[in-house]
Amino acid sequence: MLLSARKKLIDQFGIKNIINYLRRSRQDEEREKKTGEDTLHEQKQLMDRVLNEYRIPYNQVSEIGSGDKISTRPVFMQVIRDLKNEKYEAIAVKEISRMGRGSYTDMGTIYDLIIEKRIYIITPSKIYDPTNPADLRHIRFELFLSREEFESTKERLNGGRYNAALEGKWVSGPPPFGFDYSPATGRLIINEEEAGIVRAIFDYYANGIILNNGKRKLVQFRALATYLKRIGIKTPTGKDNWSPPFLKEFLSHDRYIGTLRQNTRQTLSNGKKVPRPEEEHIVVEKAHPAIIDMEIWSKVQYRINNRDIPTHTKLDFEPNRLAGLCICKKCGKKFIRRASERTYIKKDGSVSYYENEFLFCGTVGCTYVKYKPVEEDILETLKILKDLNPSLLKSQVEKIVIKEKPIDSKEDIIKRIKSRREELDRRMKFIYEKHETGVYSDERFLERKAEIDKELEELAKINVEDQKENENEEFDPSVIKRNLNSVLQAYENTTSELNKNKLLHSVFSHIFIEIVKKGSGSRPATHQIEPYLKSTVLSKPN
């Protein structure tokens, strides 16, 4: 009887197309966690039974995710667009609260749409008529009640998180670099692998980076960022390049001496995150084990607050002879020099010291070769090429020379400059917005702005008219021999690591190194090199 009456209402209201919106409630989500049941499928079966009885076409859409705002529910946003375009006369939901529990603005959007487009609401127990004052009152009440229920639930959850934070427990998502989260205690525990990197960075800033001669030099954040990249230490997100502002923030954070700071930021209605007033911060000392001892911590903070070296100090240590030249053929990473001082006791009891040098690709368990034999093989390659007869030299060089890409046309250069300038303008606008909203401090803003200004100046200096077209290089064996001989002589005569490195880079584009036979005991591994020459070796000296 009841069903027959509803069918008459459907016919009376002239409903011909229905959109059925399926969405989990918070109670459904909690039940799924406890029982593993698929509540969305259960809801679908219920609505299918209800709507099939009306024998009217209907479309069914499901919101997989969840959110307290319409803007975070893309499926419902599309439903609203379809209702505005009068694609459907009615929306079917298990309960009115499934449409929205978000802000009062969102509820107003839903309510205004129902009235303006005369959208009927179909639930398993009732059909709501937008022209009926009693039904509208019930709709308003349901929307208001769902919002209040959501706010109460959120307050309860936030209250629990707030109390846990006051106890020194971690409630802020993924643990910070250097720590793991302990489900048993709810607190942070030390991740020893990451903590080793944290201690190294604090040590480098407190006591100085290590130069090739073993001495230490105090540097500031930009030079430290360069050093960390050169020795192969990656950022917490796995990138090669460290940001100087990030390093300052990293070294200033007292989480590394056991202090927990939470509730320091808040999310505005537009999604932006901004700092909270300090009186709202939750600060708990000795909340978790410290990675950095107080002596190093105090030393680092003193240096940060008393900048004895300008931020833009140039890193003045020399790169080693093979720096940036050798690449592991197995993993594709560039080799890093590693050296250690060894002690050897002679038969007469005297002590001898020597340096043990290796090249390491940075990938655990990959490639590790002795430094000196690689250097000797590289120089021997140049000597062999220099002594080959002209025809054989030409055939060998043709196989291993890397020809430089042709210079772009002037039109391409202009286009690339324009594109880069537009990108810099967007970045400039971005940092101004961050500064205006308080996300960037004055110091950080000025540093970022200076970087962009400098790059804009460099772009302005480019004179497109000065660009020259590439000329095809001729293979002249006598020129190649002279060039190789000059490099070998200069390499032998200089004692500067930097000059040796520049000489090798003037000849080689890159050199692959591969282990062909693993070492055993005192017998080192056997390697082979695969060198590639730059096209400059073909050119006559200016």
Residues tagged active-site: 25
Give every strand in the sheet of 18-23, ordered side by side: 58-63, 18-23, 90-92, 120-122, 127-128
The rounded distance, in Å, linking the Cα atoms of 534 and 393 is: 15
Phi-psi region of 208 (alpha: psi -120 to 50; beta: other; left: phi over 0): left
Single-letter residue type at 530? E
In 3D, which of 527, 250, 524, 512 has the Cα closest to residue 400?
512
Q: What tokens were used for 389? A: 């007869």
The rounded distance, in Å, linking the Cα atoms of 236 and 70 is: 34
Secondary structure letter of residue 516 according to DSSP: E
* Orientation angle between helical segments 390-400 and 477-493, nearest 10 degrees: 80
Single-letter residue type at 94? K
Following CA atoms 527, 533, 534, 536 in sequence, which dihedral angle do they give, to the nearest 10 degrees? 140
The rounded distance, in Å, linking the Cα atoms of 528 and 531 is: 10
In 3D, which of 276, 289, 178, 166 has the Cα closest to residue 236?
178
